[in-house]
């Protein structure tokens, strides 16, 4: 079954902690993306990767970090430097970099407690 | 800053009517345009894409693109209560990832 898997679905973090959100795809897609969605807001780009071992900052990268060591995996770490991390995080992938439609995982809802 | 604008709604239509969702974009060089549907608490799902001026039909959905006016729309014919969701317009330009609008909330009243 091809697709994009995000885990966990719900995540609770204490203030000052780093947490890592997982994103795995078996679609053989080159490009992967992380978006953040807040209530009533559109999707804002955090980081993206066009190819293994390469990634670029999006519009709101501060307080986040990523890695792309394998084509299938693009984990996102939310660090303690991110001041308002409570949000819905969406991972997506596309067949090639930048010129094809993107498909989304089911999302991770992060709450700071 | 590339921008994609949508009316936030809610847009309310009666069951069986045509729902018309609109989107404008700022980058005249944009090449590809996508419509995603997002149910509350769920992730976006791709429903249509269009690259060329004119209309593209897929079942009850029609995407319309007018590059001269920098305008793209989505028509949903014979609207059903199950179509009630937020519809996100997304635009692809050059070598940058998809830029999304904030979405239009559609409510189909039975």
pLDDT band at A98 (very low <50, low <70, confident <90, very high): low
What are B11's strand-pairing partners? Answer: B106
* B102/A98 touch (CB, cutoff 8 Å), yes or no: no
- Find the closest chain A residue to B5 by CA distance: A42
Mean pLDDT of B6-31: 95
- Closest CA–CA distance from residue A30 to any residue of chain B (Å): 13
Residue B102 in contact with partner chain A when CB distance is under 8 A:
yes
Give me the pLDDT at residue A54, please: 95
* A43/B8 touch (CB, cutoff 8 Å), yes or no: no
What would the pLDDT profile of A31-61 be if each residue is shown by its tens digit?
Answer: 999 999 998 788 999 999 999 999 999 999 9
Nearest to residue A59, comparing CAs of B40, B96, B55?
A: B96
Q: Tell me the three state secondary structure of residue A27.
A: coil
From the list A41, A42, A104, the residue facing B43 with the nearest CB is A104
B23, A78 contact by CB (below 8 A)? no
Give me the pLDDT at residue A99, please: 67
Buried b (16+ CB within 10 A) or exposed e, B76-110: beebeeebbbbbbbbbbbeebbbbbbbbbbbebee
Give me the pLDDT at residue B54, please: 96
B21, B87 contact by CB (below 8 A)? yes
Selected residue with higher pLDDT from A99 and A7: A7
What are B67's strand-pairing partners? Answer: none
């Amino acid at each position: 079954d091809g697709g994009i898997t995000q885990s966990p679905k719900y995540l609770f973090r204490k203030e000052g902690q780093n947490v890592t959100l997982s994103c795995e795809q078996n679609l053989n897609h080159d490009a992967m993306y992380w978006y953040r969605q807040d209530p009533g807001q559109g999707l804002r780009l955090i980081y993206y990767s066009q190819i293994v071992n390469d990634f670029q900052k999006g519009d709101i990268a501060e307080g986040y970090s990523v890695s792309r060591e394998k084509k299938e995996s693009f984990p996102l770490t939310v660090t303690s430097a991110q001041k308002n991390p409570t949000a819905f995080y969406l991972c997506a992938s596309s067949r090639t970099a930048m010129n094809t439609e993107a498909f989304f995982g089911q999302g991770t809802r992060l709450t700071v407690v | 800053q590339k921008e994609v604008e949508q009316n936030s709604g809610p847009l309310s239509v009666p069951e069986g009517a045509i729902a018309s969702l609109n989107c404008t974009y700022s980058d005249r060089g944009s090449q590809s345009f996508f419509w995603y549907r997002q149910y509350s608490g769920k992730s976006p799902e791709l429903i249509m894409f269009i690259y060329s001026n004119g209309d593209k039909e897929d079942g009850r959905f029609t995407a319309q693109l007018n590059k001269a006016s920098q305008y793209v729309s989505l028509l949903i014919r014979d609207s059903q209560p199950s179509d009630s969701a937020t519809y996100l317009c997304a635009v692809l330009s050059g070598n940058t990832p998809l830029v999304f609008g904030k979405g239009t909330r559609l409510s189909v009243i039975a």
